[in-house]
Amino acid sequence: QVQLVESGGGSVQAGGSLRLSCATSGHTSSRKWAYMGWFRQSPGKEREGVAAIRLAGYATYYTDSVKGRFTISRDASKNMLYLEMNSLKPEDSAHYYCAAHFGAVYFPLRQAAYDYWGQGTPVTVSS
């Protein structure tokens, strides 16, 4: 059974840092995750792709607004996905979701590319 469980969200002041974690399960030696990503959604807005990683070679992708501030990483030995968020801004406040896909993904920052989602974790950045 596929499961993605996020943790690490919380409240922080502008300029601060948070690290989000996503515990993954449901992959096997013959069926491995190919792409994983972090998305966020704030009230009244569409879900936005923040960062993604291709697990073969660990190529990473970021939306422009977080480049240089956020880092996505994967620890396969622990079945974990991380999002290190630095220099946080109030506009980063949102519910953050972990997502994963077994096959090829042509647009890694588009939510339609992913089949599996976690329940999300909230991030609030105060000014």
The whole-angstrom separation of Cα 116 and Cα 127 is 33
Residue 121 has pLDDT above 80, yes or no: yes
Element of type H or E holding 121: strand 121-126
pLDDT tens digits, one per residue of 10-47: 999 999 999 999 999 887 767 788 999 999 999 999 99
Neighbours of 93 (CB within 10 A): 20
pLDDT of 57: 85
- Average predicted confidence (pLDDT) for the chain: 94
pLDDT of 103: 87
pLDDT tier for residue 1 given thresholds of 50, 70 and 90: confident
The whole-angstrom separation of Cα 48 and Cα 16 is 21
